[in-house]
Structure 1
Amino acid sequence: MRTGASPARFADLRKALGLCILSAFIAVAGPAHADMAEIKQRGEIKVATEDDYAPFNFIRDGKPAGFHAELLEDFKQYAAESGLKVNQEILPWTGLLAAVSGGQYDLAYTGALVTDERLRVFNFAPPFASAQHYYVKRAGDTRLGDIASLSGKTLGVQAGSALLARLPELEKMLKAQGGSLGKVVEYQSYPEAYADLANGRLDYVVNAVISVNDLVKARPGVFEKGMAVSGNGFAAWPVPKNSPELLTFTEGFMKKIRDNGRLKELQVKWFGEAFPDLPTEPITTQKQFHALAGLE
């Protein structure tokens, strides 16, 4: 199991976001996004996923594994109740969102983070996981124990990532306690940042909570989870803006697995904890996202 985010995943974030924004302009001319009438006519929901983003989707012993691999069977059963099949295709992350925004697929079946840029092109199904940012430190480093102790310390983060974009939240937390944000070192991949943290070149690294949990589980004697350094963040399925009925369909599915306990079961198994306070409604606007994430 990979610890942290895929090296390609955030290194190409600016490129992927650029493609999404471009797709938003193309949408004015009307790309063909299917809604439920067309989906029911063809008899299947076409979903795009990736296979290199543990613990969401990855390959173990030559077979798909992770949160989404298990949840796929539940989604197929839910779709079958409406007479539909689910056709899943695996794509590289760098082209996945652009393929969905361009109408080749109906939704992105992956752990995409909700961001302002993506909300220009997509609505998001109700979140299935937190993406709140935490700091991770070397195991046994007693210098770091709370937010104030991070003042002036050197930190590592993925270049061009959503994590980097939200560092001003940590800076604001530190200023409120009379401290300041230390030197920020940007990395092309999180494994590089973790290596420098282990070797003492960094004091801490900032990443999303699930990636931090995954890292600490894999290397408990090397790394230790710290505290939250941002407001709320969310991982959810992106659905094209002009597929509102499909968005409602995904909302029904998330409600079902939330009510029957299946979502909590898979969260604990794959993410290391349950997230009972996630929004239960789709996220469709930047204003709504900012309110939910505490960015206003």
Structure 2
Amino acid sequence: MNSTRRLVLSALATSMLLVACGKKEEAPAPAAQPAPAANAPAAVKTYKVGSDASYAPFESETADKKVVGFDVDVLTAAGEKAGFKVEFINTPWEGIFNTLGTGDRDIVASAVTITDERKQTMDFSEPYFEAKQLIAVPEASKVSKADDLKDKKVGVQTGTTGDEVVQKILGKTSPNIKRFESTPLAIKELQNGGVDAVVADNGVVINFVANNPDAKLKIVEDAGFAKEYYGYAVKKGNTEVANKVSEGIKAIKADGTYDKIFAKYFGAKK
């Protein structure tokens, strides 16, 4: 091979090598990404609910520690309408409202009367039950009105509106006001003769007297006892939860669900 031909072939080989080295590798095509689901449903929020489960028929506890009752059914149904779930936790009445401030509970559902005093430290849903105070006394008692309690020993549940009503009758510091952790304990003391009367919400008193005929108690009404309204309590400023609960209450009142729940516990509305 002559030198000229050798130079040509060498130059050609060098040129091909440079072309090969200079060629860029093409990047692989990106893998196809799955399209986002259209209108994916938002996660349903579950609220922790505090209830003093010693206040039948509004809330009580079964043998397997489940909280049941009127308040439970109403709030559960309201949640189904407004898009939230509820988890009920038996919580002692004394200190129950503090759990809202600490965040341990999102809602208190415990036959809570809406009062101006309570509104200063918590917010409420719209009312879901109309209540009033009643007096429970032995069948032989001569008590026929609230004024007849002035010289009597009266049992109440601590911190309730029944407690407030009796303070107005007997005086805030009266030693004749006997306070108990629950209304059933106060009624038990009435049966044992430790107090002469018990003042408590109508639903609880009516339920106990109707279901315990052997207790031989009767109910006394007083026209001077004002109407009260129950609401579900939330932390002060938590309008989001209060509005959701109110939305649900309005919905179950509108479609008849509320009336069915009411009839289950108190009979059909008259």
Confirm or deny a common fold (TM above 0.5). Answer: yes
What's 1:23 paired with? none
Equivalent residue letter for 1:137: V
What's 2:228 paired with? 233
What's 1:78 paired with? 81
Per-residue deviation, 1:216: 0.6
Please say if residues 155 and 183 of structure 1, whose CA atoms lie closer than 8 Å, have aligned partners that are also in contact.
Answer: no
User: Are 1:256 and 2:265 matched, yes or no?
Assistant: no
Please say if residues 135 and 205 of structure 1, whose CA atoms lie closer than 8 Å, have aligned partners that are also in contact.
Answer: yes
SS in 1 for 2:244: helix
Per-residue deviation, 1:55: 1.8
Please say if residues 122 and 233 of structure 2, whose CA atoms lie closer than 8 Å, have aligned partners that are also in contact.
Answer: yes
Which moved further from structure 2: 43-52 or 122-131?
A: 43-52
Please say if residues 67 and 89 of structure 2, whose CA atoms lie closer than 8 Å, have aligned partners that are also in contact.
Answer: no
In the alignment, the residues of structure 2 paired with residue 60 and residue 127 of structure 1 have an alpha-carbon distance, to the nearest angstrom, of 26
In the alignment, the residues of structure 1 paired with residue 246 and residue 229 of structure 2 have an alpha-carbon distance, to the nearest angstrom, of 15
1:267 to 257, 262, 270: 262
What's 1:223 paired with? 217
Please say if residues 197 and 203 of structure 1, whose CA atoms lie closer than 8 Å, have aligned partners that are also in contact.
Answer: yes
SS in 2 for 1:166: helix
Higher RCO structure, 1 or 2 (CA under 8 Å, sep 6+)? 1
Please say if residues 170 and 177 of structure 2, whose CA atoms lie closer than 8 Å, have aligned partners that are also in contact.
Answer: no
- In structure 2, relative to structure 1, the CA distance for the partners of 1:78 and 1:165 (3 Å cut) is same
What's 1:108 paired with? 108
Please say if residues 152 and 183 of structure 1, whose CA atoms lie closer than 8 Å, have aligned partners that are also in contact.
Answer: no
- In structure 2, relative to structure 1, the CA distance for the partners of 1:258 and 1:154 (3 Å cut) is same
User: Are 1:129 and 2:126 matched, yes or no?
Assistant: no
What's 1:57 paired with? 59
Q: Summarize the alignment of residues 140-289 of structure 1 with structure 2, pairs less than 5 Å apart.
A: 140-141=140-141, 143-147=142-146, 149-150=148-149, 152-167=151-166, 169-170=168-169, 184-189=176-181, 190-221=183-214, 222-228=216-222, 230-271=225-266, 274=269
- In structure 2, relative to structure 1, the CA distance for the partners of 1:76 and 1:185 (3 Å cut) is closer
In our comparison, the structure showing a higher alpha carbon Rg is 2
Equivalent residue letter for 1:216: V
Encode CA deviations 1:15-51: one digit per residue, 9 max, x unaligned. xxxxxxxxxxxxxxxxxxxxxxxxx976414232336
Per-residue deviation, 1:237: 0.3
Please say if residues 51 and 59 of structure 1, whose CA atoms lie closer than 8 Å, have aligned partners that are also in contact.
Answer: no
Encode CA deviations 1:242-261: one digit per residue, 9 max, x unaligned. 22243232222212222223
Per-residue deviation, 1:160: 4.6
SS in 2 for 1:230: coil
In the alignment, the residues of structure 2 paired with residue 162 and residue 148 of structure 1 have an alpha-carbon distance, to the nearest angstrom, of 17
Equivalent residue letter for 2:70: F
In the alignment, the residues of structure 1 paired with residue 61 and residue 185 of structure 2 have an alpha-carbon distance, to the nearest angstrom, of 22
Please say if residues 213 and 271 of structure 1, whose CA atoms lie closer than 8 Å, have aligned partners that are also in contact.
Answer: no
Per-residue deviation, 1:212: 0.7
In the alignment, the residues of structure 2 paired with residue 159 and residue 110 of structure 1 have an alpha-carbon distance, to the nearest angstrom, of 14
What's 1:8 paired with? none
What's 1:293 paired with? none
Encode CA deviations 1:39-83: one digit per residue, 9 max, x unaligned. x97641423233623222222242442113333542342133xxx
Identity of aligned residues (%): 21
Structure 1 segments, 4+ long, off by >6 Å, are none
- In structure 2, relative to structure 1, the CA distance for the partners of 1:239 and 1:220 (3 Å cut) is same
User: Could you list the runs of 5+ residues in structure 2 that have no partner in the other structure?
Assistant: 1-40
In the alignment, the residues of structure 2 paired with residue 197 and residue 255 of structure 1 have an alpha-carbon distance, to the nearest angstrom, of 39
Per-residue deviation, 1:220: 2.5
SS in 1 for 2:221: strand
